[in-house]
Amino acid sequence: MYEINFKAPCHVYFVGIGGISMSGLAELLFREGFTVSGSDRNSSDLTRSLEAKGITVHYGESASHITSDIDCAVLTSAVKDSNLEFQTIRERGIPWLSRAELLGQLMKNYKVSVAVSGTHGKTTTTSMISEILLRAGTDPTLSIGGMLKSVGGNIRIGGSNYFVAEACEYTNSFLSLSPTIGVILNIEEDHLDFFKDLAHIRRSFRQFAELISPEGCLIINADIPDFDEISKGLPCRVITYSMGNTPADYYPEQVSFDETGLPSFVLHGPDTGVQTFHLQVPGLHNVSNAIASIALADCLSVERSKTAESLAGFSGTARRFEYKGSVGGVTIIDDYAHHPTEITATLSAAKKYPHKTLWCVFQPHTYSRTKTLLKDFARALSLADQVVLADIFAARETDSLGISSENLRDEIKALGHDCYYFPSFDEIENFLLENCINGDLLITMGAGDVLKIGESLLGS
């Protein structure tokens, strides 16, 4: 594998520079004095932000984009062998790295490198940890999979030995990392277009845990079934947490919710006594995310008062139960949930939010996930009072596998629940305008571009 010399900045080209993680890494290298350029399929807020900073971004794929002064290329896992730029890079013998390999090399430059993994909750937990370390004055470098308001984006260049990043399991990307502290939030079936089954996923998380420095530590959710299969025998320290269902080092009691659905809880932890925490993000799942963050902060000897203040002031990241606005008395929230467990968590939290009727406009993400988890999706979405489905967002996939949103609609109706499907966003918007009334709560949900529906209703 090609090794970048961070003390001798060169020209790095990013194929797929518009992705949330790729754009952040591109900006990080640019700020460190590298010449950075890249390409993506379409213009976006992220690519325009990069261009505004002086980074050259090409649109579409073309061999002409690969100029003779490029020293190294970085590719996302979505780039195929047929990509014209990738073909040109290989033909010219230009060294290249995956996104995860670059992230792993960056981590080696820091004494404390935190990698947050799990099927769900990575972005929120990484953001919580980031807020805590910022308030504690550690001046960390951050690479987040979402937009964090307090840093004005998804990347922050710090001046200390602290580095915090998300660790994505898809295509085993997180196995390229070099963490001193690893966090495993949960392990469930997902990305089954790559993984064979849950056992395959669990093996990968075990391999991730084995990457942690012996002098470091693993923070793991003890509510993961047979979690000790992931953590046993590791040379590093292991810290456990749970929601109180499983014996663990950290666990909550007296979880309560205020009139807007925001939780408070009393935390029990080792050698730290009992303390009450208040959150500005809804749902039991965020209580769990917060406990993982507290355990990590304790591991780094952050003052508990700083941790509590940070969590009390953390209002979430973009597309995580994000309040978008109100129109005609209808509150519009947007959420990134695209897995049945995430949908269940978000809709359960929404039920505690003031509303008359809870509407969920869901855009399934990838054919493979929809087909494999079809019945689970139907059960999760049935938590909403009314469900409206958009077409499946294909993302990286080209084969529909014979599945469509109409199949999901039929599954939801078979459960005796109302569900509507429309093939266009315009039809969905018209339906909502006719049927949502003052006091209703509308959530646009999915990892694709479904948020455009809410934004259009708000006139933004």
Considering only CA atoms, which of 300, 280, 279 is closest in space to residue 291?
279
For residue 116, the cross-strand partners are 166, 183
Whether the CA torsion 71, 75, 81, 83 is positive or negative: it is negative
CA distance linking residue 153 with residue 408, whole number of Å: 35
- Pair 325, 444: CB distance under 8 Å: no
Helices assigned H by DSSP within 384-450? 405-414, 425-435
| DSSP, res 365 | B
Catalytic residue among 47, 76, 119, 123: 123
How many secondary structure helices (H) and strands (E) does the chain include? 15, 21
Question: How many Å apart are CA 219 and CA 327, to the nearest integer?
Answer: 42
Active site residue 122: yes
Q: Residue 233 phi/psi, 5° resolution?
A: 80, 5
Q: Which residues are CB-neighbours of 157 under 8 A, at least 6 positions away?
A: 28, 31, 32, 141
* Helical (H) or strand (E) element with 131: helix 122-135
If phi > 0 it is left, if psi is from -120 to 50 it is alpha, else beta; for residue 273 that is left
* Catalytic, out of 27, 61, 131, 166: 166
240 catalytic per annotation: no
Of 163, 39, 181, nearest in space to 102 by CA: 163
Catalytic one of 88, 122, 124, 126:
122
- Whether 32 sits among the annotated catalytic residues: the reply is no
Query: Which sequence positions are flagged as catalytic?
Result: 122-123, 166
